[in-house]
Amino acid sequence: MPDGSAPAGASPFRTWNGVESFEFVDGVRLHAVGGDQVLLCRVRYEPGKQVPRHAHEHTEQLMAVVEGAVTMTIGDETRELGPGDVVCVNRGIEHELYSEGGVTFFEALAPVPLDHVPDRARDLVLAEGGATHVAR
């Protein structure tokens, strides 16, 4: 397809088994799967890695930590998060993350930010062509 998405009617089933993770920024790797409206990522930070302060203008982000720990600042509030902790970052809110010892978490982002999609043909399951996707 011209936009790099899978053809309509392609299987909705995907796997991350045997798929190399995508290095989103130095030391931060992810796997992703998304549809027309939401993207799910498994994210791993190497020890000592961070993502500096930023905001997603159009995208809301939900996170659930499954392993390790991360220090996260949202707006002017900072928390240490570990397994079982969850967080919601509303669109347009500045936030930053740092993991001293490494962390793994799942995140859901909506609408789908295409800069988080490693391979649009493999990682998107589209019915209507992703009309609600955003650049970042």
56-68: pLDDT as tens digits = 999 999 999 999 9
- Count of all residues that appear for the chain in the document: 136
What residue type is 24 in one-letter code? F
Class of domain 28-123 as given by CATH:
mainly beta
CA distance to 66, 68, 92, 100, 116, per residue, from 120 (Å): 26, 29, 25, 32, 10
- pLDDT band with cut points at 50, 70 and 90 for residue 130: low
- Specify the pTM: 0.89
44-91: pLDDT as tens digits = 999 999 999 999 999 999 999 999 999 999 999 999 999 999 999 999
| Cβ proximity of 125 and 40 under 8 Å | no
Question: What share of residues in the chain are helix, strand, coil (percent, to 5)?
Answer: 5, 45, 50
